């Protein structure tokens, strides 16, 4: 498994340097920044002997650019849900894995996993969470649940570093392109069956999370794409045949009279 650490609009360069240091502590090197603050001397000082990780970091203007080529996108959240929240909003933040649960699911997997860490003040927003296949949250004390960015990163990196000890056979995860195409074709299928418009976005988000937890292989993704293609073809064919069936019924009525 190749881990790509994605910091979304980090506010403080010291935290960026500290994340780079934690990455190198646990054997990770691919750091990506989305619209970051200025990265100057303080970040380098906080990175200490991980300055090479910081220097090799890539910057992008948008999150989709930063996620290109990833097989799986994992978002982090420290916000807790209460029972009063509307059920439709729950799709954004549940279900959540603990870092250890996530590491267990990724054991034996081959591919690039993008781990998203949000802003220090407000984390990832709803649009960014909607791009995630899986979510992870550190089970902290309810008295003070929000952790410092670099501290939470270190916890995640420690657990994810344990996936290297997997003894089972390696399984290649489906490509990000295949998963995106699966979402697109499912959306087209929902439109063709007149699925309620106000439910489409949440249904597609739920599907993304289901497929994320399933950790599809490339073969499985292609099989699902083939299934959707067959269903859409069958629906289209039956629609095309409807006028001919009506004409046939009219001819039968005329002959009987």
Domain harbouring 40, CATH code: 3.40.1280.10
112 and 7 assigned to the same domain = yes
* Domain closes at, from 143, 172, 201: 172
153 and 54 assigned to the same domain = yes
Cis preceding-peptide flag for 155 (omega within 30 of 0):
no
52 and 134 assigned to the same domain = yes
47 neighbors 18 (Cβ within 8 angstroms): yes
- Number of domains composing the chain: 2
202: tokens are 């949440």
149 and 196 assigned to the same domain = no
37 neighbors 10 (Cβ within 8 angstroms): yes
Domain that holds residue 90: 2-172
pLDDT at 247: 44
CA distance 46 to 16: 8
Question: What does the pLDDT profile of the chain (257 residues) look like in tens digits?
Answer: 899 999 999 999 999 999 999 999 999 999 999 999 999 999 999 999 999 999 999 999 999 999 999 999 999 988 655 444 554 455 566 678 999 999 999 988 899 999 999 999 989 998 999 899 999 999 998 888 889 999 999 999 999 998 765 555 578 888 888 888 999 999 999 998 899 998 898 888 888 888 888 888 888 999 999 999 999 888 887 666 554 444 434 443 444 44
φ, ψ at 116 (rounded to 5°) = -95, 125
pLDDT at 94: 66
CB contact set of 235 (below 8 Å; sequence gap of 6+): 192, 193
pLDDT at 81: 53
């Amino acid at each position: 498994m190749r881990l790509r650490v994605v910091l979304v609009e980090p506010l403080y360069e010291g935290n960026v340097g500290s994340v780079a240091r934690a990455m190198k502590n646990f054997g990770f090197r691919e750091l990506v920044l989305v619209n970051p603050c200025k990265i100057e001397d303080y970040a380098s000082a906080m990175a200490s002997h991980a300055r090479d990780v910081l220097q090799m970091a890539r910057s992008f203007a948008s999150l989709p650019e930063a996620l290109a080529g990833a097989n799986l996108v994992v978002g982090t959240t420290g916000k807790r849900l209460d029972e009063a929240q509307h059920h439709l909003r729950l799709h954004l933040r549940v279900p959540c894995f603990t870092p250890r649960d996530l590491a267990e699911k990724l054991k034996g997997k081959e591919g690039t996993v993008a781990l998203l860490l949000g802003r220090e003040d407000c984390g990832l927003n709803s649009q960014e969470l909607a791009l995630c296949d899986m979510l992870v949250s550190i089970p902290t004390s309810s008295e003070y649940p929000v952790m410092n960015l670099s501290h939470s990163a270190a916890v995640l990196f420690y657990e994810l570093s344990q996936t290297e000890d997997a003894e089972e056979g390696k399984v290649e995860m489906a490509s990000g392109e295949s998963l995106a195409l699966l979402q697109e074709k499912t959306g087209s299928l929902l439109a063709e069956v007149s699925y309620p418009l106000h439910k489409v976005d949440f249904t597609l988000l739920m599907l993304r999370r289901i497929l994320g937890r399933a950790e599809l292989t490339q073969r499985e993704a292609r099989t699902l794409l083939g299934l959707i293609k067959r269903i859409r073809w069958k629906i289209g064919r039956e629609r095309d045949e409807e006028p001919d069936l009506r004409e046939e019924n009219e001819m039968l009525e005329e002959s009987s009279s």
